[in-house]
């Protein structure tokens, strides 16, 4: 499902206009992004949580040349599914 399909589903389930559903989806994405940028976690009970984890620096290889490369440390967003979501999928 892509963003357009998500907006269509939100429109169908909520009764909002397509324009309002798009605003709601965009606002959700922006809010989660801003929270993660500022170092906060976003927890949605029974759905899951969004967090930022730090990935340590490591060595990698260029698959074409076999040359060893240094990959720098980075912050990466992760999503952990909640119990209800896990049960619904299984």
Cite the DSSP H helix spans in 1-90.
Answer: 3-14, 18-37, 83-89
Nearest to 24 by CA among 14, 33, 34: 14
Can you read off the two tokens belonging to residue 59? 């060595």
Residue ranges of the chain whose pLDDT lies below 50 = none
pLDDT at 43: 97
Q: What CATH number was assigned to the domain covering residues 41-90?
A: 4.10.520.10
pTM reported for the whole predicted model: 0.81
* pLDDT (tens digit per residue) in 80-90: 999 999 999 99
Phi, psi of 45 (to 5 degrees): -55, 135
Domain residues of the chain, as ranges?
1-40, 41-90
Rg for the chain, CA atoms, rounded: 18
């Amino acid at each position: 499902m892509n963003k357009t399909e998500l907006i269509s589903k939100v429109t169908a389930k909520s009764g909002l206009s397509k324009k309002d559903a798009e605003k709601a989806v965009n606002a959700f994405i922006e809010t989660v992004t801003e929270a993660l940028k500022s170092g906060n976690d976003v927890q949605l009970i029974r759905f899951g949580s969004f967090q930022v984890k730090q990935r340590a620096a490591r060595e990698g290889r260029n698959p074409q040349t076999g040359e060893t490369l240094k990959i720098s440390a980075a912050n990466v967003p992760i999503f952990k599914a909640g119990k209800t979501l896990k049960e619904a999928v299984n």
